[in-house]
A and B are shown apart, each in its own frame.
Chain A
Amino acid sequence: MVSVKNVSKTFVSRKKKVKALDKVFFHAEPGEIFGLLGPNGAGKTTALRIVSTLLRPDEGEVVVNGFNTLKKPQQVRKRIGFLTSDMRLSGNLSAKDLIFFFADLSRVPRETTEKRMKELADYLDMNDFLDRSVDKLSTGMKQKAAIAVSLIHDPDVIVFDEPTNGLDIITSKTVTDFLKDFRERGKTVIISTHVMSVAEKLCDKVAIILEGKIAENDKLKDMYARYSTDNLEDVFFTVAEKEGVLEDA
């Protein structure tokens, strides 16, 4: 369970101040895929980084499985698997090397790692390239390796920033299948996306984020009912118009 309450975040650089998040709130339950939908620069990455303890909120709080991200960051990290499509595994190490490296970082005992690696390799169909250096892997293989790496500590919550960004259709399917499967196992999944169809097909619950503010936040079904439509695009543009972000664009 992930609960984000009134989180604000301002970046101060030499030139300017950017309020990336303004009293953002959302909730994701186990057995559910939650999606943060918004255009580029809306604050999605910032929000997910705050949930993953990479950034500190200026105000508000985030609680992951009962642990506050500011007070118990280590406990939170133990329970979170963090992935981004920006992450490109690279270098001369093999997927296996990297899995053991991340297991060490999460303090997973060796035997447990061995066991989980076997399960993950079977599940993600990685056995053929487990020992090959990641530089020599295809994009799809790399994505699988990245997933395996971030699941080695068996997290309850998975946070995935733009899960299908830059992936071909086949690799995208691998990723979305994996996320659905993760939901079936009763885990909490949080993703961000700027792609309408990804949110539509994958998520149970969606929050629309515009210029750092949550403009809409509900179960997809209920949202459709309220806007009397059957697709997310209608909802999005109605909300965007109401918020006045379309004129700026």
Chain B
Amino acid sequence: MLKDSFVIYRKELKNMMKDRRAIFSVFILPMIILPIIFLTIGFVTSAQQRTDAETLYLVNIIGDEDGRFTEVLQDFLVFERDETRVPDYTRALESDNYIIVELEGADSDLTQVGKRLDAKIYYRSTSRRSSFAAQQVRNALNQYSSLIMSERLKALGLSLDDLNPVRTEMQDLAPEEARGTEFLAIMLPYFVLIFIFAGSMNIGLDTTAGEKERGSLAPVLVNQVSRSSIALGKVFYVMTVAVLNSFFTFVGLMVAFTLGGSEAFGGEIPVNLAGFGIGSLIALLLVLLTLAGFAASLIILVGSFARNMKEGAGYVMPFYLLAIFAGIATMNMEAVHQIHFYALPVVNSVFVMKDILTLQFFWSRFVVMFLSNLLYTSLLVLGVARLFNSEKVLNTGS
């Protein structure tokens, strides 16, 4: 039986391996596209941040009689002063690089206890640059405030340090190699899901509904090989492609992150690949295998009901969208603790992947996930075998 399945498996795989387009989309595409996406986002974000910082702003500072604040601001923003000293609010609303700072009380001697400075910043929140400048003015005002504070303290014979009796220091206990993996834990399961389902969808439909449409299924069934073997061979084939697909997705993401793509999402620490030991990689591979098995058998089952490719695509689409939805919904979720979640297909694989990627491995979760995926896949494969053994599999609905 397994030997017969292998005949089908080998033929399908050989056929695919000779298809340059399929090879490209399964193996090459994820390795190219992911680094490109991530690096582009990262590049654009940092380029924007740079231009924000390098823009020459026009700041109308009203009420800074001694010019001390203006001096402080020079450390925070590249700007020229609008010397009109008349607030032009319309301009602040219309321009990206014009903001107004009104200081009230800066003329009095602020080192005197009881004196106060009121500052107002006029900017436009819908402009990225205007917001950036406003934020920098705010930072400068804080700095200015500290300056005045230390002058007041000095008069009393104290310093700023005297007012800070508590010193705080953060000690990260997460293992060195696990740091910076959160981004991988967020992105990888999502992309793996997409690639596994999208990858198995095309070839899974082609080998079921497509075969029917081309009339090439019937001759395969008039032979010595049992229909269950044929069904199993097809499932193995789609599963193999899905696993390869997700493996290269993994590689693509790793490349993206090592090249610094995690900056795109605010990550500062480059991912340390050495952190993943052989154990983690094997566990990850097992998750991919069972997830791919599930996706492959699901798509083969659904595709075998369809009479042609078009109908098949319609049948499979809801499942694909569900999987993507699960991917998005769980993207920013931390792995949950309730064990029954690990019996939910797709979601369970996502959570276990997150566990592995953040170097927190729980045998119980892994085992529940593994066994339940195995169970679902077996049930689906049984369904496929039953369908192939019934006359429905030939239904081309003429």
Contacts and interface: CB of A to CB of B under 8 A. Distances in A.
B223 A77 contact: yes
B222 A149 contact: no
A123 interface: no
B394 interface: yes
A140 to B, nearest CB: 17
Contacts of A90: 214, 216
Contacts of B81: none
Interface residues of A, number: 32
Interface string A91-126: 111000100011011110000000000000000000
Interface bin, chain B: 20 to 34
Contacts of B221: 54
B18 A87 contact: no
Interface string B35-79: 000000000000000000000000000000000000000000000
Given A54-B222, A84-B215, A107-B224, A93 B7 contact: no
Nearest to A107: B224
B224 A93 contact: no
B83 interface: no
Interface centre among B14, B219, B225 (most CB of A within 10 A): B219
Given A54-B222, A80-B222, A105-B223, A88 B216 contact: yes
A55 interface: yes
A54 B216 contact: no
A90 B219 CA distance: 13
B15 A93 contact: yes
Contacts of B321: none
Interface residue SS majority, chain B: helix
A77 B398 CA distance: 25
A105 B227 CA distance: 11
Interface in A208-247: none
A49 B394 contact: yes
A133 B18 contact: yes
Contacts of B223: 77, 102, 105-106
Interface string B209-235: 000001110111111110000000000
B215 A87 contact: yes
Given A49-B394, A77-B222, 7 more contacts: A77-B224, A84-B215, A86-B215, A89-B216, A90-B216, A97-B14, A105-B224
Interface of B: 4, 7, 11, 14-16, 18-19, 214-216, 218-225, 391, 394, 398
Interface of A: 45, 49, 52-56, 74, 77-78, 80, 82-84, 86-93, 97, 101-102, 104-107, 133, 149-150
25 contacts: A45-B398, A53-B222, A54-B218, A54-B221, A54-B394, A55-B391, A77-B222, A80-B222, A84-B218, A87-B219, A88-B214, A88-B216, A89-B216, A90-B214, A92-B15, A93-B14, A93-B15, A93-B18, A97-B14, A101-B7, A105-B224, A106-B223, A107-B224, A133-B18, A149-B219
Sort A-B residue pairs by CB-CB distance and give the 9 closest, nearest first. A86-B215, A92-B18, A105-B223, A87-B215, A82-B222, A104-B7, A101-B11, A91-B15, A88-B214
